[in-house]
Amino acid sequence: MASPASCARRTRATVARHRAAFLALLAIACAVLAMPFLGACARGEGTASAPATEEEATASVAGGELKVHYFDVGQGDSQFLEFPDGTTMLIDAGPTDAGEGVVEKIRALGHDTIDIVVASHPDADHIGGLRYPLREMEVGEVWAPDASKDTYAYEKFLTAVDGQGLTINKAERGITIKEGKGYSIELLGPDMARQGADSDANSFSTIIRVRFGDTSFLFTGDAYADQIDRAEEDVVDVLKVAHHGSYSGTDAKLIEQLRPSLAIIQYAEDNTYGYPHDEVCEALADVPTYGNAENGEITVTSDGRSLDVLPSRGDALW
């Protein structure tokens, strides 16, 4: 299986060709689009336009932004969301040794409380660190799939939830966690009706779709590609690549269906699993992709219409 470096080298020439073609098309488009505006300017008319949709209008009135932080937690997952109305949501907190760092990162962003905590599934590289924000910060509610694992990390997670005096809300398909001004948080998985007795922990992964204005984000835990395929039939703007870039969570068929504008892979440098796998690099070859190993913390900001991505270091993998 190819390393991340080999994936980047293999796609660099392809990306260069796509970039050149894109710039040429952009120049033509700009020239065409400029014509009516030049006419308007000559007549003294303004160029501002009203939001195209009701959702865009709501986002514009709210005057805020959605910020999604993909924390660098080594070989694990953690995402922290800041909504325009001040609501916060934490999805996973990486392995145990990343938990204290997650708390520090959230506090550095100006928050002492977390409104919504989601444990995507009971694997230690996702929930191991959650005990720290659950112990050290005020938490509003906790969501997790109806799946358990006989591990020390899972036991500590349950103890931390109990210590907050909270109960776990069961995460499953068809539930809307919250709707705010211009945004929604919806659960697309797991689909409990499809779960079998021999299902592994990854198959219980919580799949979350967040919409803000005309933009959408998909969070996939370690779900399998066919599960994500069944869960989300619409196009998404930002894809959190499932299972740290394992071939089990991403294939060409899924990417063709979702058509993401941006992909984020959460994995550690020189990990023993060979993530991201070569098949995933190939499937994402035409999608601007960032990874924590090369880019550190990655923040994606949406104003309800467009996206801005800010890695703490480096450029996109391809």
Instruction: Return mean pLDDT, the chain.
Output: 86
Please report the pLDDT score of residue 199 as a whole number.
80
Burial category of 305 from C-beta neighbours within 10 Å (exposed 0-12, middle 13-18, buried 19 and up): middle
Please report the pLDDT score of residue 67 as a whole number.
98
- Amino acid letter for position 229: D
Rounded to an integer, the average pLDDT of 159-172 is 97
Please report the pLDDT score of residue 120 as a whole number.
98
Please report the pLDDT score of residue 196 as a whole number.
73
- For residue range 260-286, list pLDDT tens digits in order: 999 999 999 999 999 999 999 999 999
Of 1 and 143, which is predicted with more confidence? 143
Please report the pLDDT score of residue 34 as a whole number.
47
Please report the pLDDT score of residue 51 as a whole number.
40
CATH of region 4-20+48-193+201-311: 3.60.15.10
Please report the pLDDT score of residue 49 as a whole number.
33
Please report the pLDDT score of residue 63 as a whole number.
64
Rounded to an integer, the average pLDDT of 145-161 is 95
Please report the pLDDT score of residue 197 as a whole number.
65
Please report the pLDDT score of residue 46 as a whole number.
32
What residues have CB less than 8 Å from 69, skipping those under 6 apart? 79, 80, 81, 82, 105, 109, 297, 298, 299
pLDDT band at residue 136 using 50, 70 and 90 as cut-offs = very high
Of 39 and 118, which is predicted with more confidence? 118
pLDDT band at residue 237 using 50, 70 and 90 as cut-offs = very high
Please report the pLDDT score of residue 108 as a whole number.
98
pLDDT band at residue 311 using 50, 70 and 90 as cut-offs = very high
- 111-114: long-range pairs with CB below 8 Å, 24+: 111/82, 111/137, 112/137, 112/138, 113/88, 113/137, 113/138, 113/139, 113/140, 114/88, 114/89, 114/90, 114/138, 114/139, 114/140
Please report the pLDDT score of residue 35 as a whole number.
43
Please report the pLDDT score of residue 270 as a whole number.
95
Dist CA 232 CA 32 (whole Å): 35
Report the candidate in 103, 3, 85, 70 with the shortest Cα–Cα distance to residue 220: 70
Task: Check whether 215 has a pLDDT greater than 60.
Answer: yes
Please report the pLDDT score of residue 198 as a whole number.
66
